[in-house]
């Protein structure tokens, strides 16, 4: 803990002198103008204690950076490496739908633009421009949503990979069986399969 104490004098101190005065082994005061500053030495004993000798990095399911890049290049692959199969299926489905819709709109946009440019009358041209503009905006919207989904899935895989080595992470157990008292005073048994 770092503490500081500043004492301001009455203005009667010597304004031209600056001097260091050792008071004890760990205390030094510096007098400048009319200010006395107290700065104790740092106590590093609390920060150097090791709370757990277990290396949690060795218990990770996969390297977090590898999980991030897997999710960037293949939808859901980082989540599969973290054994998050439901999350991987949701991400694969969402990214496939967004990318497929963006590609479909991207194929329709040039056709709408060509029809707009080849229109003969002004009223027909205005109507076709509105249709072209809507397709272009829709294409851009789905491209942005797909990019955002890829970004979120990358960092989700990264964070899950970091948390996979935690001893408090109960998700590492696939099959759990628990017997204990229930609320009505009887006994209950629970069988759970986590996927």
The rounded distance, in Å, linking the Cα atoms of 138 and 132 is 10
Average pLDDT over residues 170-189: 68
What's the whole-model pTM score? 0.54
What does the pLDDT read at residue 147? 93
Residue range of the domain that includes 117:
58-165
Angle formed at CA 96 by CA 99 and CA 144, multiple of 5 degrees: 35
What does the pLDDT read at residue 144? 94
Between 32-36, 42-46, 146-150, 177-181, the lowest mean confidence (pLDDT) is in 32-36
pLDDT level of residue 151 (50, 70, 90 thresholds): very high
pLDDT level of residue 28 (50, 70, 90 thresholds): low
On whether both 65 and 98 belong to a single domain, the answer is yes
Please indicate, yes or no, if residue 188 is contained in any of the structural domains: no
Please indicate, yes or no, if residue 142 is contained in any of the structural domains: yes
The rounded distance, in Å, linking the Cα atoms of 56 and 158 is 15
For the chain, how many helices (H) and strands (E)?
4, 6
On whether both 110 and 63 belong to a single domain, the answer is yes
On whether both 75 and 158 belong to a single domain, the answer is yes
Q: Percent of the chain at pLDDT above 70?
A: 59
Greater confidence (127 vs 143) lies with: 143
On whether both 30 and 95 belong to a single domain, the answer is no
Average pLDDT over residues 186-190: 78
Greater confidence (179 vs 103) lies with: 103
What is the torsional sign of CA 148, 154, 159, 163?
Answer: positive
N-term to C-term CA, the chain: 46
Q: What is the residue whose two structure tokens read 């955002």?
A: 148
Please indicate, yes or no, if residue 173 is contained in any of the structural domains: no
13 within 8 A of 33, measured Cβ to Cβ: yes
Q: What is the residue whose two structure tokens read 């205005």?
A: 126
**pLDDT value at 138 more than 70:** yes
What does the pLDDT read at residue 39? 59
On whether both 62 and 96 belong to a single domain, the answer is yes
Domain count, the chain: 2
On whether both 30 and 64 belong to a single domain, the answer is no
pLDDT tens by residue, 57-108: 666 778 888 888 989 999 998 998 888 888 999 999 999 999 999 999 888 8
Q: What are phi and psi of 187, to 5 degrees?
A: -110, 150
3-state SS track over 47-111: CCCCCCCCCHHHHCCCCHHHHHHHHHHCCCHHHHHCCCHHHHHHHHHHHHHHHHHHHHHHHHHHH
On whether both 20 and 64 belong to a single domain, the answer is no
What does the pLDDT read at residue 25? 54
On whether both 67 and 157 belong to a single domain, the answer is yes
Residue 146's nearest CA partner among 77, 99, 107 is 99
On whether both 28 and 104 belong to a single domain, the answer is no
On whether both 66 and 153 belong to a single domain, the answer is yes
What does the pLDDT read at residue 168? 62
Average pLDDT over residues 115-137: 83
Please indicate, yes or no, if residue 48 is contained in any of the structural domains: no
On whether both 36 and 62 belong to a single domain, the answer is no
On whether both 85 and 159 belong to a single domain, the answer is yes
């Amino acid at each position: 803990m770092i503490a500081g104490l500043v004492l301001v004098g009455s203005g009667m101190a010597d304004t031209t002198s600056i001097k260091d005065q050792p008071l004890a082994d760990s205390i030094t005061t510096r007098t400048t103008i009319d200010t006395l500053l107290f700065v104790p030495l740092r106590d590093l004993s609390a920060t150097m204690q090791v709370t757990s000798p277990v290396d949690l990095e060795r218990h990770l399911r996969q390297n977090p950076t590898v999980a991030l890049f897997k999710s960037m290049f293949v939808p859901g692959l980082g989540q599969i490496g973290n054994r998050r199969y439901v999350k991987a299926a949701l991400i694969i489905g969402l990214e496939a739908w967004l990318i497929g819709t963006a590609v479909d709109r991207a194929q329709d946009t040039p056709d709408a633009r060509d029809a707009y440019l080849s229109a003969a009358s002004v009223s027909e041209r205005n109507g076709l421009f509105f249709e072209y503009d809507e397709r272009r905006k829709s294409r851009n919207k789905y491209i942005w949503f797909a990019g955002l989904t890829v970004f979120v899935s990358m960092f989700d895989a990264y964070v899950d990979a970091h948390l996979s080595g935690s001893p408090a992470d109960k998700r590492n157990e696939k099959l759990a069986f628990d017997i204990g008292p229930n609320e009505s005073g009887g006994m209950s048994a629970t069988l759970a399969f986590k996927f």
